[in-house]
Amino acid sequence: MEPICKKGGNIAPYVAQLAGKNNNDLTSYIREAVKNSIFASEERLKNFLDNPTALALDNDPLYKLSTALLNKYRESSPADKEATDKFEAAHRKYVAGVLASNPKGKFYPDANSTLRLTYGSIKSLPADKRNDAAQNFYTTLKGTIAKYKKGDEEFDLPQRLIDLQNNKDYGRYADKAGYLPVNFLSDNDITGGNSGSPVINGNGELIGLAFDGNIEAMAGDVIFDHKLQRTISVDIRYVLFVIDKFAGATNIISELKIVE
């Protein structure tokens, strides 16, 4: 293992301290930390949660190391703070100038720390043979299972979900056509910070949760493409299916008013 530092360097002080005690080689320390940590196994973590103490957490080797690394990662120097302050001041002037240059224009705020509303319609994209749906504005659980690849970071799936699809055990959440919807497309405008926003129909009922945009939506902060830009939302029926049929959290379902 290569030396971590020679004279402390630009690393977390706690890491520099450990390096000094271990001849700049933390291999043994990391192995022991992983072995003895509260977070080393599910059993250890459950035991801690049954009787949690601040002292045990503060003395946990992995917790101490991760905290030190995060604190260093989030560290901000006086020069960084000065540059950020100047940028934010300049950006406020820029926005004020844009608004003043077009006083009759209609502007909506970004999606961070402000209420941002947009309206649109469910709208499909051109047909794609990779999608088993009758129209290319939604996807189904059947299509999700068709992409399953065991051990793949993106496409692995729990066996229970596969079993539910094989048995078509959708509960009350299937579409009247017999499939279980997963995601749907709309021509709403979406930007960073919108993820998790509720999608509401004309009756004020929750029908989904926005979480992404297609590749054409990447340019949405500059120009809106009415033909191809789409917001991707998870269908609320799939959310309820996962809560109820997959996770068995019927206590949550019992608290909700579900409109069939």
pLDDT digits (tens, 9 = 90+) for 130-139: 999 999 999 9
pLDDT reported for residue 8: 42
pLDDT of residue 9: 52
Intervals of the chain under pLDDT 70 = 1-9, 108-111
Dihedrals phi, psi of 139, to nearest 5 degrees: -125, 165
Query: Using CA atoms, how far apart are residues 51 and 59, in angstroms rounded to an integer?
Result: 15
Task: Give the pLDDT confidence score for residue 7 in this predicted structure.
Answer: 40
Q: Is the pTM of this model over 0.85?
A: no
Helix 27-36 and helix 61-73: axis angle, to 10°? 120
pLDDT of residue 2: 43
pLDDT of residue 4: 46
Report the Cα–Cα distance between both ends of the chain, in Å, rounded: 61
CA 146 to chain CA centroid, Å, is 23
pLDDT of residue 26: 87
Strand partners, 122: 186
Contact 184, 137 (CB under 8 A): yes
Phi/psi for 254 (5° steps) reads -65, -20
Interior/surface letters 71-101, b for 16+ CB within 10 angstroms, e for the rest: eeeeeeeeeeeeeeeeeeeeeeeeeeeeeee
User: Which of 21, 258, 238, 232 is CA-nearest to residue 140?
Assistant: 238
